[in-house]
Structure 1
Amino acid sequence: MKLAVISDIHGNVAALDAVLADAATRQVEQIVNLGDICSGGLFPRETAERLMPLGFPTIRGNHERQLSDQTLEQMGLSDRHAATTMLPEQLAWLAALPATRRVSDDVLLVHGTPDSDLTYLLETVTERGIRPATADEVEQRLGSVDASVILCGHTHLQRAMALDDGRLIVNPGSVGLPAYEDDRPYPHLVESGSPHARYAVLSNEGSGWAVSLLSVAYDWEQAARDAEANGRADWSRALRSGRV
């Protein structure tokens, strides 16, 4: 099995196209999508147009849930932009996505953790900021999940961790947004440090899983200008630098 794993596109269709082109050179058998697909400062409608015909195994992230659960008045800027620009059939596609999904007996897709699309799996936030989670913290968040491979997104940070019990957890990073700030449960910054589009490739030829965490160049300067045209200066800084 050889999988490409994408997550957190956030409407950045140019970054998505670059990642899909790169994945096509690596002879992957399947591409899976871990959610937070369209909401953002760029092109929600065009991103859905690109992805829906491809039929990738896909789960929802917190932004897909928020698009279904919240009114326009309750939404933040990114969700409101998606809700007001996407077609009804595209919003229905997002609303119908499952929270988790197995693509085989061994591989489980989650957005945050198996139980939450907001909780970080491989990172921990404290009053001092964000740090890598310990193995004990990850085991507690996974509980009794029996998949050999758990694929998670949400934090936009590429990371892999192998637990003592053999389970492998991989976050492919974000295709479309390399940095952001959040206030849950404490204010913190998430920064990948460069503007590249990120994804992962996992392969297993019978001797165990190999993980490649990949960074792909694309025209992030144009993406930053597109964000500025949409009134999202916060996005333009992140897209140009990978920092908040």
Structure 2
Amino acid sequence: MRFAAIADVHGNYLALEAVRADIRAQGIGEIVNLGDMASGPLDARRTMDALMALDAVHVLGNHDRWLIDRPVEKMGSWERPAYAQLDTMHLDWLRTVPSTQIFRDRVFLCHATPADDNVYWLETVTPDGSVKMSSLEAIEKEAEGISQSLILCAHTHIARAVRLGDGRLVVNPGSVGGPGFSYSVPFPHVIEAGTPDARYAILEFSDASWRVAFRHVPYDHDAMAALARRNGDAEFASALSTGWINV
């Protein structure tokens, strides 16, 4: 069993295109998408068209939910520009996507944690704004009740794999389209990938255990950074340009 996991595309069509090409080059036919598909100051319409046409298993992210569960005047700064590009068919399709799924009986899929689509799982933010790895105890607590041997999550845009004490593996594939952002919950902090590459993961079940390979894929990130800048988001433009936020 071998498949690719993508997440956090955030309207970055060129990054998605590059990742899909790399997945094909690896000879992989199955894909799971862990959500946060369109929101951001980029190309929501083309991204949603591509994802809706993709033969993949999808789960809904918090930014996806915010596009469909509230009026536009209550949307955030990443939802409003995406919403303006989307048609009813895109939003209706998002309404059909579940918050969690089981893939081929062996893999549990969620966006952030199994119980909450807007809580960090493998990372913890301290009151001073530092981002560090969560404790094994805290990670295992969120995994209670999940019988699958592989658990996939996303949300933080940080590629990471954690082996639980009972042998289960929790993996965040990193972000296809967003190498950095700032956020105020639970405390103000910054996430930075350090490079502008698109990220995804290849998962393989072999010899009775899971193996993960994290892929970093170059693409024309400068074009996407220029688009973010034209659309008035200097912070996201900086992250797309360098993998760092320098504004």
TM-score, normalised to structure 1's length?
A: 0.98
How far apart, CA to CA, are the structure 2 residues paired with 1:135 and 1:207? Answer: 23
- For this pair of structures, how many residues does the alignment match? 244
Contact 2:103–2:109, Cα closer than 8 Å, also in 1: yes
1:6-85 maps to which residues of 2 (within 5 A)?
6-85=6-85
Provide Cα deviations, 1:166-192, integer angstroms capped at 9, x if missing partner: 110000000001000111111111111
How far apart, CA to CA, are the structure 2 residues paired with 1:15 and 1:53? Answer: 16
Contact 1:113–1:120, Cα closer than 8 Å, also in 2: yes
State yes or no: 1:119 paired with 2:119.
yes
**What residue number does 2:2 align with?**
2
Contact 1:156–1:177, Cα closer than 8 Å, also in 2: yes
Provide Cα deviations, 1:144-185, integer angstroms capped at 9, x if missing partner: 211110000000000001111011000000000100011111
**What residue number does 1:166 align with?**
167
1:193-208 maps to which residues of 2 (within 5 A)?
193-208=194-209
Contact 2:30–2:55, Cα closer than 8 Å, also in 1: no
**One-letter identity of the residue aligned with 1:14:** L
How far is 1:78 from its partner?
1.2
How far is 1:243 from its partner?
1.3
How far apart, CA to CA, are the structure 2 residues paired with 1:126 and 1:142? Answer: 22
Contact 2:31–2:55, Cα closer than 8 Å, also in 1: no
How far apart, CA to CA, are the structure 2 residues paired with 1:68 and 1:89? Answer: 12
Provide Cα deviations, 1:106-145, integer angstroms capped at 9, x if missing partner: 1011000000001111101110221011111101122221
Provide Cα deviations, 1:9-63, integer angstroms capped at 9, x if missing partner: 0000000000000010111231000000001110000101111112310000001
Contact 1:64–1:95, Cα closer than 8 Å, also in 2: no
How far apart, CA to CA, are the structure 2 residues paired with 1:178 and 1:237? Answer: 10
**One-letter identity of the residue aligned with 1:69:** D
**One-letter identity of the residue aligned with 1:157:** I
How far apart, CA to CA, are the structure 1 residues paired with 2:103 and 2:29? Answer: 12
How far apart, CA to CA, are the structure 2 residues paired with 1:225 and 1:54? Answer: 27
**What residue number does 1:220 align with?**
221
The runs of 4+ residues in structure 1 deviating greater than 4 Å are none
State yes or no: 1:110 paired with 2:110.
yes
**What residue number does 1:156 align with?**
157
How far apart, CA to CA, are the structure 1 residues paired with 2:201 and 2:28? Answer: 11
- The percentage of aligned residue pairs carrying the same residue is 42
How far apart, CA to CA, are the structure 1 residues paired with 2:65 and 2:7? Answer: 15
- Structure 1 residue runs of 5 or longer lacking an equivalent are none
SS of the residue 1:114 aligns to: coil
State yes or no: 1:235 paired with 2:236.
yes
How far apart, CA to CA, are the structure 2 residues paired with 1:50 and 1:144? Answer: 34
Contact 2:193–2:243, Cα closer than 8 Å, also in 1: yes
**One-letter identity of the residue aligned with 1:179:** G
How far apart, CA to CA, are the structure 2 residues paired with 1:127 and 1:232? Answer: 26
How far apart, CA to CA, are the structure 2 residues paired with 1:237 and 1:53? Answer: 30
How far apart, CA to CA, are the structure 1 residues paired with 2:183 and 2:51? Answer: 27
SS of the residue 2:74 aligns to: coil
How far apart, CA to CA, are the structure 2 residues paired with 1:97 and 1:81? Answer: 21
TM-score, normalised to structure 2's length?
A: 0.96
